């Protein structure tokens, strides 16, 4: 009598079919995807509020930095920088004036189509920071280094501060007496924060350009170090307004395009509903 084949064997002698483990779909390269903190939740909210902390620290350090304003301005008045370095610093102003900001935004528009929805926020960062710094200048009267005789100036010369709370001097607005805060530095700082978030691969380059903007303003005898810190503080405050989800950040986050997986799921769901309705008909 022929014995029955064991349960673990097949009549043909072949190996029994075993379920193969399901292979996971290849993950998308994270480096190819631009992650924006306020829209995709990659960075906790406390990092946005840290902008206010940094701005407060810079503003509190302004009185202390004022003690070295004359010394730093006197050192730069001797033209200690090589010519090549001075020319390089002139290029750093691309983040601090209108034509340079336009070129940066136009370059993003052409070379990074996936980041185009960030352009309104970046433009608001740059333009708004400069406008806020200009409004602050109306209330502060302070001479620029180029308006002082640094050869005989003492530390007390840096404390020639006056506040025009009633705006009685606005009609005689003189740029040589409106040094604080630096509008160029405010614009460069706010734009750097925006580019830091949008294009993380160029963070150190953006930071270097921002620092170079401050050094250029010092080398050109347009501002004291305390003016630079004040401008950076105003830029950080405006960046906080444009990034915080409960302020202007909420408006700009609504401009974010719908992600591709969600779009595919919605298309597949619409197709299923259409097939169901056709079958019912």
Q: What is the pLDDT of residues 9-48, one digit of tens each?
A: 444 444 444 544 444 444 444 333 333 444 343 344 447 8
Question: In the prediction, which pLDDT does 259 show?
Answer: 55
Domain interval for residue 117 = 44-252
Other CB atoms within a 10 A radius of the CB of residue 121 amount to 23
Answer yes or no: is 96 within a domain: yes
Question: In the prediction, which pLDDT does 79 show?
Answer: 83
Answer yes or no: is 133 within a domain: yes
Instruction: Please answer whether residues 254 and 206 qualify as being in contact, where contact means their C-beta atoms are separated by less than 8 angstroms.
Output: no
By percentage, how much of the chain surpasses pLDDT 70? 73
Answer yes or no: is 215 within a domain: yes
Find the distance separating the first CA and the last CA of the chain, reported in whole Å: 61
Question: In the prediction, which pLDDT does 91 show?
Answer: 87
Question: In the prediction, which pLDDT does 44 show?
Answer: 41
CA distance 209 to 192: 8
Question: How many structural domains compose the chain?
Answer: 1
Answer yes or no: is 34 within a domain: no
Question: In the prediction, which pLDDT does 231 show?
Answer: 94
CA distance to 107, 119, 220, per residue, from 145 (Å) = 35, 36, 9
**CA-based nearest residue to 125, from 182, 181, 187:** 187
Question: In the prediction, which pLDDT does 80 show?
Answer: 85
Question: In the prediction, which pLDDT does 109 show?
Answer: 93
Question: In the prediction, which pLDDT does 280 show?
Answer: 56
Answer yes or no: is 38 within a domain: no
Answer yes or no: is 50 within a domain: yes
Question: In the prediction, which pLDDT does 159 show?
Answer: 75
Answer yes or no: is 273 within a domain: no
Answer yes or no: is 22 within a domain: no
User: What's the chain's average pLDDT?
Assistant: 78
Question: In the prediction, which pLDDT does 86 show?
Answer: 86
* Three-class SS state of 163: strand
Question: In the prediction, which pLDDT does 215 show?
Answer: 93
pLDDT < 70 stretches in the chain: 1-46, 171-173, 258-281
CB burial of 235-270 (b: ≥16 within 10 Å; e: otherwise) equals bbbbbbbbbbeeebbeebbeeeeeeeeeeeeeeeee
Residue with tokens 């960030």: 118
């Amino acid at each position: 009598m022929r014995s029955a084949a064991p349960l673990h064997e097949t009549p043909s002698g072949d190996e029994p079919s075993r379920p193969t483990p399901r292979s996971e779909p290849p993950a998308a390269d994270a480096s190819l995807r631009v992650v924006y903190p306020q829209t995709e939740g990659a960075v906790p909210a406390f990092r946005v509020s840290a902008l206010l902390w940094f701005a407060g620290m810079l503003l509190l350090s302004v009185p202390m930095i004022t003690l070295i304003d004359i010394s730093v301005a006197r050192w730069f008045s001797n033209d200690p920088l090589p010519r090549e370095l001075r020319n390089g610093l002139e290029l750093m102003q691309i983040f601090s004036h209108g034509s340079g900001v336009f070129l940066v935004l136009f370059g993003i528009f052409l070379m990074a189509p996936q980041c185009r929805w960030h352009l309104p926020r970046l433009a608001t960062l740059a333009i708004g920071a400069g406008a806020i710094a200009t409004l602050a200048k109306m209330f502060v009267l302070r001479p620029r280094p180029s308006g002082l005789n640094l050869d005989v100036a003492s530390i007390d010369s840096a404390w020639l501060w006056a506040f025009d709370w009633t705006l009685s001097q606005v009609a005689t607005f003189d740029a040589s007496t409106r040094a604080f805060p630096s509008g160029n530095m405010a614009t460069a700082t706010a734009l750097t924060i925006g580019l830091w978030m949008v294009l993380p691969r160029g963070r150190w380059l953006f930071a270097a350009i921002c620092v170079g903007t401050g050094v250029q303003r010092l080398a050109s005898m347009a501002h004291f170090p305390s003016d630079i810190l004040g401008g950076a503080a105003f830029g950080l405050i405006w960046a906080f307004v444009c990034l915080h989800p409960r302020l202007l950040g909420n408006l700009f986050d609504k401009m974010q395009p719908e992600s591709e997986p969600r779009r595919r799921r919605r298309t597949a769901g619409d197709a299923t509903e259409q097939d169901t309705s056709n079958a019912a008909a």
